[in-house]
Amino acid sequence: MNRDRILQQLSGNLIVSCQASAGHALRDPATIARMAQATVDGGAAAIRCGGVGGLADVTAVRAAVDVPVVGLTKHDRSGVFITPTVADAREVARRGAEVVALDGTDRPRPDGARLASAIEAVHEAGALAMADVATLRDGELAAAAGADLVATTLSGYTDETAGRRHADDADVALVADLRRALPGHPVVAEGRYHYPATVADAFRAGATAVVVGTAITDPTWITRSFVKVCGHVHDRRSSG
């Protein structure tokens, strides 16, 4: 593991999340790998991939691109679901991910392990640990537990932060709070970054890197965004 090299590659750059849930037209590891290749061609500095049943995606993407892979797996359950167990963390690293993303909140984990134990397992496997957090306190605890990066992924997705979740409302404030509290520690902005301007806001707030997924890699979501505009225009014409 070359921690400094990987962090340097991520610094100031875009990480693209290439994921597709069950039932999505793109739900296929080979398709995910081609998507990853296309985003790297566009300048992505790293790929985040995995998901429910997505370990094969990590393997496929690792073979397809020459940039760092941020890997994860998800359990289809409530509570802690992003790489939730120590065994999951080890498996994601075994699939070739240089960075393993895992739940970095203080909620109980399915295997009863502490976050520090999962992070230690990731390091033993030769990878870096990215802690997906929801609050400033989560980020501080994750950094103290040894996480190499903290990401704002779960803001709006825990009971404590549910009120922050809005369709186009990235939590840039949390990025700024983490930067102030953890000077010099890598902070990744993730979650509802749908516009280039918001990505720029995150960097100005102190983000080391920014993850964008849906707005780049989900044509269903992108198409619906345009279709909504068509509907609004039609309604205005009809009322006029």
pLDDT at 32 over 70: yes
**Domain that includes residue 233, residue range:** 3-239
- Identify residue 29 by its one-letter amino acid code: P
Position 235 scores a pLDDT of 58
CA distance linking residue 133 with residue 137, whole number of Å? 9
| Chain-centroid distance, C-alpha 131 | 10
Instruction: Estimate to the nearest angstrom the gap between the alpha carbon of 76 and the chain centroid.
Output: 17
Select the more confidently predicted residue: 240 or 139. Answer: 139
Asked whether the predicted pLDDT for residue 65 surpasses 80, the reply is yes
| Domains identified in the chain, total number | 1
What confidence score (pLDDT) does residue 236 get? 57
Residue 187: the pLDDT is: 98
Q: How far apart are CA 234 and CA 222, in angstroms?
A: 19
pLDDT given for residue 76 in this prediction: 79
pLDDT digits (tens, 9 = 90+) for 66-120: 999 999 999 877 799 999 999 999 999 999 999 999 999 999 999 999 999 999 9
pLDDT at 103: 98
The answer, as to whether pTM is greater than 0.75, is yes
Please give the structure tokens belonging to residue 232: 């609004």
197 Cβ neighbours under 8 A, 6+ residues apart: none
pLDDT digits (tens, 9 = 90+) for 140-172: 999 999 999 999 999 999 989 987 766 568 999
Per-residue model confidence as pLDDT tens digits over 224-233: 999 988 866 5
| pLDDT at res. 163 | 78
Q: From CA 33, how far away is CA 118, in angstroms rounded?
A: 27
Read off the pLDDT of residues 166-207 as tens digits, 9 standing for 90 and up. 656 899 999 999 999 999 999 999 999 999 999 999 999 999
Q: At what angle do helices 196-204 and 172-181 cross, to 10 degrees?
A: 20
Where residue 68 sits, what CATH number does that domain have?
Answer: 3.20.20.70
Q: Which residue has the tokens 């103290």?
A: 144
Q: In terms of Cα–Cα distance, which of 96, 92, 95, 143 is closest to 115? A: 143
Find the mean pLDDT for residues 10-38. Answer: 96
